[in-house]
Structure 1
Amino acid sequence: MIYIILLLLSFSFTYFIKEYAMKKSLVATVNERSSHTVPTPHGGGIALALTWFLGLIYVYMIGEIQSNLFYALLFGVVISVVSFFDDIYELSAKLRLVAQSLVAIGGLYFLGGFESLTFGVFDIQNSLFTNIFAFFMIIWFINLYNFLDGINGYAGSEALFLSLAAFVLFGGSHFLVLGAAVLGFLFWNFNKAKIFMGDVGSTLLGYNIAIFTIYYANQEATNFWIWIILFALFWFDATLTLIRRKKNGERLSQAHKKHAYQRLNQSGWSHFKVTNYSIGINIVLFAILYFIANVFVAFFVAMVLMAFVMRFVDKKKSFD
């Protein structure tokens, strides 16, 4: 019952924010990075975040989430608030990086750090190395999720997939809470979007995924690779695009439209088609994890899949 209530809250919050934004002309302007052509209200992530934190507090109060995970996730309020002001005032990159570093440190503090990084044949348990790695991973996940929030339903459907897949694999009421919060927003964002998520939602989702990755890896080291496989569609695209742009000598802070989903859209695919194909790829990634017992073999198969996906995108629209 609580999940239905949260779904309705997210749905209603998003609607009221959409209406308010329209009245106040708080719309996302079309620029060189945009994949949309019509100014559209933004800030739907506020509804997502409010619903998520309300649900998170509820599952903590009834004892269905561990304290360290709860406080680490709750610390995401910081990135949501900073991103809220960034949506309105366009804060400097340095200030955003400071805020992201703060939440990375805070999240790691509440989780008790990142204990071990396993590669199957050997483990890295040096706490200095693992925590530095985790610190940069959190910052990268925050940013890459923001980068890949660019077309209707894309970022929201990824979060919904991760919530449901993680619930199947790990259990946990917090995943259903997140899924309900995202689904209520997605009603207004999928296909012909009536409102966008904005940084306030995308950065929070990236932070949450990083925290889940570290928390479950601390329970069982191989769980790290499970999350990496589940999240492969986003981090593979973002990381490969960054490497390619660096190799081309581009200024990395410059706005661009070179991510795989953007190039598919430029090739003539609609937002709806790109998002639906991404859902299909995610289902295949889940199937790889579910049916291949060895997580490292599953990771290899997943990377082969992602390489084929990127090769397909390159043929549709080359990376200039």
Structure 2
Amino acid sequence: MIIGGLLLLAIFLLSWVSTWGMRHYALSKSLMDIPNERSSHSVATPRGGGVAIVFGFLLALPIFGWLGLMDHAALAAMSGSGLLVALIGFADDHGHIAARWRLLGHFLAAIWALFWLGGLAPIAVLNGTIDLGWMGHAIAAVYLVWMLNLYNFMDGIDGLASAEALCVCLGIALVYALIGEVEPIWGVLAMSAAVGGFMCWNYPPARIFMGDAGSGFLGIALGILSLDAATRLPELLWSWVILLGAFVVDATLTLCRRLLNGEKVYQAHRSHAYQYAARHFKSHKAVTLAVTGLNLCWLMPWAVVVALGVVPGVAGLIAAYIPLFWLAIRFKAGTREKPPIS
């Protein structure tokens, strides 16, 4: 426990220092997010700081494996997939990569992860489990690719993606502690430490943005951790998806509405509910804190009761998501932004 705690502190400090270094690198290379009509910020800001999360987390994984604090299959899945996604994102941060090539790389990363995890574990439904076989593995691949892309979509205002990752990881750590699953706690705590070091620089007003390398890495890493949890206890997958609800609902509803509107979904936009909310309240901090409160006070309790078997997973998911859909619709997720009146 002492060694694990010291390692977590080292990850936090390494992430903090690495973010500082990435900020200076971005400034020297003019790697900046310049405000435009599709952005949610008004000041040119360095981007690419999420590389510090990748560096801190991936560097710690072999040490956790050597100490016996992390399953080797999950370690291999996250190391290979996370590194590939981060490299694609880093290259895209520096110069555009065609969407089709990014998507191909994302699916290769998902397949690598599923190879090590053994595919999708049986899913808990009511009082039993369902093994979807090869169809389940295909669904899991789509799930991982969607997770990394939705995380990229939701990284649009100061501190939001960092706060979400912290809430999800610390929330599931509490769930693991309550049900007596000790081993997977270290993985999510390591992610929390890496994100925490970066968030010191990303908290509103942000001094550096995460960038595609960091957001894509976080998305697929959280997806892999959730699928690994399902191999231990089927109900845990529902708890994970509940905790990820704020991002899942906003991104999915926004994507569906934009598809129905005939818009090019791969183009940059600012029609997510959180973006409308940030403009409505004229504050990134207010929205980031509101999502944090929603995670801690609403989604976390549902994740706990589902993991403890008090409420079936499907029922808990539906109950937890109803207010999220109401909020997303209330803040016009996916609707076209009206042009300003001249």
TM-score relative to the length of structure 2: 0.89
Bigger drift between 42-51 and 259-268 goes to 259-268
Indicate the residue corresponding to 1:187 in structure 2: 200
- Conservation of the 8 A alpha-carbon contact between 1:32 and 1:255: no
Change (3 A) 1:226 1:104: same
Once the two structures are superposed, what CA deviation does each residue of 1:62-100 show, in whole Å capped at 9, x if it has no partner? Answer: 111111111011111111111111110111101101110
Q: Equivalents in 2 of 1:270, 1:15: separation in Å?
A: 25
> What is the letter of the counterpart of residue 221 of structure 1?
P
Number of equivalences: 318
Q: Which residue of 2 aligns with 1:45?
A: 50
Task: Give the 4+ runs in structure 1 shifted more than 4 A.
Answer: none
Find out whether 1:99 has 2:117 as its counterpart. Answer: no
Give 3-state SS (helix, strand or coil) of 2:270's partner: coil
Instruction: Find the residue that maps to 1:267 and give its secondary structure.
Output: helix
Which amino acid in structure 2 is aligned with residue 288 of structure 1?
A: W
- Equivalent residue number for residue 325 of structure 2: 307
Correspondence for 2:40: 35
The answer for unaligned runs of 5 or more in structure 1 is none
Equivalent position to 2:90, from 84, 98, 109: 84
Cα deviation, residue 121, structure 1 = 5.9
Equivalent residue for 1:237, pick from 228, 242, 250? 250
- Which whole-Å CA distance do the structure 2 matches of 1:7 and 1:123 have between them? 38
Counterpart CA distance in 2 for 1:115 and 1:190 is 36
3-state SS of 1:110 partner: helix
Post-superposition offset of 1:291: 4.5
CA RMSD between the two structures: 1.7
| Contact map agreement 2:271 2:335 (CA 8 A) in 1 | yes
Percent identity at matched positions?
34
Q: CA deviation at 1:123?
A: 4.2
Greater displacement, 218-227 / 8-17: 218-227
Select the residue among 304, 311, 315 that pairs with 1:290. 304
| Alignment partner of 2:217 out of 192, 204, 212 | 204
Please, which runs of 5 or more residues in structure 2 have no aligned partner?
A: 1-5, 177-181, 337-342
Q: 1:87-136 CA distances to partner (integer Å, 9 max, x unpaired)?
A: 10111101101110110100000111113233326643131110010010
Deviates more, 1:206-215 or 1:99-108: 206-215
3-state SS of paired residue (1:233): helix
Q: Secondary structure at the match of 1:162?
A: helix
Amino acid aligned to 1:31: N
Q: Distance in 2 between matches of 1:22 and 1:83?
A: 18
Query: Is 2:165 aligned against 1:163?
Result: no
Whole-angstrom distance in 2 between the partners of 1:32 and 1:95: 27
| SS of match in other structure, 2:50 | helix
Counterparts of 1:89-168 in structure 2 under 5 Å? 89-120=95-126, 123-168=129-174
